[in-house]
């Protein structure tokens, strides 16, 4: 008899149904696994053998063949240990085949039979609900993660023997139930950060509010100590909460990357990722022989902050251009091409020159013209063209720092941002676009109409500063967000004028 157990493999951020077939036949003792298994799956033979023996069962001294179907899809990871072990126990006659019906099983085994947590359980749970499995058995430490998905009963196990007793009818497993935690969400509070901590910088705060309200990309240029990093670190405190669908999609990516735990089993706040400028291509974009999501995918539905922007390798920065337009990244290999979501808000910070003090009224710049040009040219024109808001962050004076005035807190800004996002949600009516920054050209033409005065002003700005067609449409998107913050259904010349001033920094500084 061929025993069958259902499990799941990962492809991108989605689960793929895999049927584990186990056959025990007479012949020379062997233990083979076929069906394009990766090295970690081939190594599972020794883990499964030891776990079954240490659980008190006699391992068969026969020819054992394990087939992972479909055979033309590469499988990887240690999550196949448990389904393989249960398939063997079914083929040995310890457990009935009927007990496996309607169940999707995943988990890694220790040599003593303990069941360890594994990554990627949430995409597998989504697959289980979609494919009609009534129950899912996972490691106990992954139970809360899997239970987030509606439509499937989730049970957690800690030892192989617990499962044997459960299937024989003389034991029980822990049942996990979902929660409504992903339905709402609260503003991220990283060490009590708040916009009220920052003195002055009214224009920069205004630009950050617009960026958060419309999901626009932002570049801050200013000398060291002007507050660029402080401002960026407080962006999560003004962002709207994730919706349930966004939370599930974001958590799937973090699950595949192995960033979840028993305590942090669901991402309920917009991610904020800040990789160091020494990050590799694969670390930022994603990749590897078996493709993994990079920082831009981990920032999906959130913020990617790149401090010291020109210090990143030129080729790495230029690789951001396609994801900024499409909202996803395709990792191509000889055997497969994997697509990871990468719809993020890019926030970058940089100095105006290598020494950092070009244009500073208090300290002279010591850089030559050639040094300044080489420094700024590390950020290409096509990449800058994709950044909606480009602002100068001047140094804060001692007088501003010593003033006792109360600055506006993050919660007040966040209320305006949420109100603007709600207007955008109503406008787009359930489409895949959730913010103004994601609008297509056709949607810009539909929703960003302006009066004759505003149109003339925009045309004049495009001619004067030699802006591209992409910049033209991005100015309209920003103007639409400014109007949403003002609660206006129609855009006027004031909204367009403010949007234009956020696009001329690169022209003034001759990037």
Domains in the chain, ordered, with CATH?
3-176 (3.30.230.10), 195-431 (3.40.50.300)
Q: What is the pLDDT of residues 102-112, one digit of tens each?
A: 999 999 999 99
Q: Judge whether residue 189 has pLDDT over 60.
A: no
The residue-averaged pLDDT of 406-428 equals: 93
C-alpha distances (whole Å) from 371 to each of 3, 296, 316, 377 are 69, 30, 21, 10
Check: CB of residue 436 under 8 Å from CB of residue 215.
yes
Q: Judge whether residue 177 has pLDDT over 80.
A: yes
Q: What is the pLDDT of residues 118-153, one digit of tens each?
A: 999 999 999 999 999 999 999 999 999 999 999 999
* Rounded Cα–Cα distance for residues 142 and 176 (Å): 10
- CB neighbour list of residue 78: distance below 8 Å, 6 or more residues apart: 40, 41, 44, 47, 108, 116, 118
DSSP code, position 350 = E
- CB neighbour list of residue 360: distance below 8 Å, 6 or more residues apart: 223, 395
pLDDT band at 184 (very low <50, low <70, confident <90, very high): very low
Q: Judge whether residue 313 has pLDDT over 50.
A: yes
Q: Judge whether residue 263 has pLDDT over 90.
A: no
Picking from 3, 4, 112, the residue whose alpha carbon sits closest to that of residue 48 is 112
Res 486: pLDDT: 95
Looking at per-residue pLDDT, the higher value among 1 and 92 belongs to 92
Q: Judge whether residue 265 has pLDDT over 70.
A: yes
Cβ neighbours of 57 (radius 10 Å): 18
pLDDT band at 398 (very low <50, low <70, confident <90, very high): confident
* Rounded Cα–Cα distance for residues 125 and 103 (Å): 11
Indicate the pTM of the whole model.
0.90
* Rounded Cα–Cα distance for residues 328 and 358 (Å): 36
Q: Judge whether residue 242 has pLDDT over 60.
A: yes
Looking at per-residue pLDDT, the higher value among 362 and 301 belongs to 301
247 sits in which H/E element: helix 244-256
Res 146: pLDDT: 95
pLDDT band at 188 (very low <50, low <70, confident <90, very high): very low
Res 179: pLDDT: 67
Res 182: pLDDT: 47
State the angle between helix axes of 160-168 and 81-91 in degrees (0 to 180), rounded to the nearest 10: 40
* Rounded Cα–Cα distance for residues 459 and 472 (Å): 9
* Rounded Cα–Cα distance for residues 195 and 217 (Å): 19
Burial group, residue 424, by CB count within 10 angstroms (0-12, 13-18, 19+): buried
Q: Judge whether residue 181 has pLDDT over 60.
A: no
Least confident piece of the model among 37-46, 121-130, 204-213: 37-46
Q: What is the pLDDT of residues 444-477, one digit of tens each?
A: 999 998 999 999 999 999 999 888 999 999 999 9
Q: Judge whether residue 509 has pLDDT over 80.
A: no
Res 291: pLDDT: 87
């Amino acid at each position: 008899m061929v025993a069958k157990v259902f499990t799941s493999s990962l492809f991108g951020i989605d689960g793929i149904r895999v049927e584990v077939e186990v056959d025990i036949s007479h012949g020379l003792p062997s233990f083979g696994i076929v069906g394009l298994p990766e090295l970690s799956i081939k190594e599972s033979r020794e883990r499964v053998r030891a776990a079954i023996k240490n659980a008190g069962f006699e391992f068969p001294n026969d020819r054992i063949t394990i087939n992972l179907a479909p055979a033309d899809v590469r499988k990887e990871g240690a999550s196949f240990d448990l389904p393989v072990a249960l398939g063997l126990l079914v083929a040995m006659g310890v457990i009935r085949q009927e007990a496996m019906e309607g169940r999707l099983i995943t988990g890694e085994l220790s040599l003593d039979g303990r069941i360890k947590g594994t990554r990627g359980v949430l995409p597998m749970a989504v697959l289980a609900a979609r494919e009609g499995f009534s129950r899912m058995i996972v490691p106990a430490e992954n139970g809360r993660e899997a239970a987030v998905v509606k439509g499937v009963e989730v049970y957690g196990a800690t030892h192989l023997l617990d499962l044997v007793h459960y299937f024989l009818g003389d034991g029980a497993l822990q049942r996990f139930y979902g929660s409504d935690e992903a339905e709402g969400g609260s503003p991220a509070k990283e060490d009590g950060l708040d916009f009220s901590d920052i003195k002055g910088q009214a224009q920069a705060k205004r630009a950050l509010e617009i960026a958060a309200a419309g999901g626009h990309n932002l570049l801050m240029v200013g000398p060291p100590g002007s507050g660029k990093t402080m401002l960026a670190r407080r962006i999560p405190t003004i962002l709207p909460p994730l919706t349930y669908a966004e939370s599930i999609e974001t958590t799937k990516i973090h699950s595949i990357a192995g960033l979840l735990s028993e305590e942090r089993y669901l991402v309920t706040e917009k991610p904020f990722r800040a990789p160091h400028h020494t990050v590799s291509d694969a670390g930022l974009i994603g990749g590897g022989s078996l493709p993994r999501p990079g920082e831009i995918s981990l920032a999906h539905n959130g913020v990617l902050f790149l401090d010291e922007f020109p210090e990143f390798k030129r080729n790495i920065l230029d690789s951001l251009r396609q994801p900024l337009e499409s909202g996803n990244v395709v990792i191509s290999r000889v055997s497969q091409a994997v697509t990871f979501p990468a719809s993020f808000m890019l926030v970058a910070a940089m100095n105006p020159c290598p020494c950092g003090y070009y244009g500073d009224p208090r300290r002279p710049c010591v850089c030559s013209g050639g040094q300044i040009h080489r420094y700024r040219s590390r950020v290409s024109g096509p990449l800058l063209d994709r950044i909606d808001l480009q602002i100068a962050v001047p140094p804060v004076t001692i007088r501003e720092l010593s003033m006792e005035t109360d600055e506006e807190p993050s919660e007040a800004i966040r209320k305006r941002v949420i109100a603007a996002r709600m207007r955008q949600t109503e406008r787009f009516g359930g489409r895949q676009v959730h913010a103004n920054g994601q609008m297509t050209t056709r949607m810009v033409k539909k929703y960003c109409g302006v009066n004759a005065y505003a149109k003339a002003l925009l045309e004049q700005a495009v001619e004067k500063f030699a802006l591209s067609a992409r910049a033209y449409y991005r100015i309209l998107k920003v103007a639409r967000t400014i109007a949403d913050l003002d609660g206006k259904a129609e855009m006027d010349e004031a909204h367009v004028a403010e949007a234009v001033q956020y696009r001329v920094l690169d022209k003034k500084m001759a990037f």
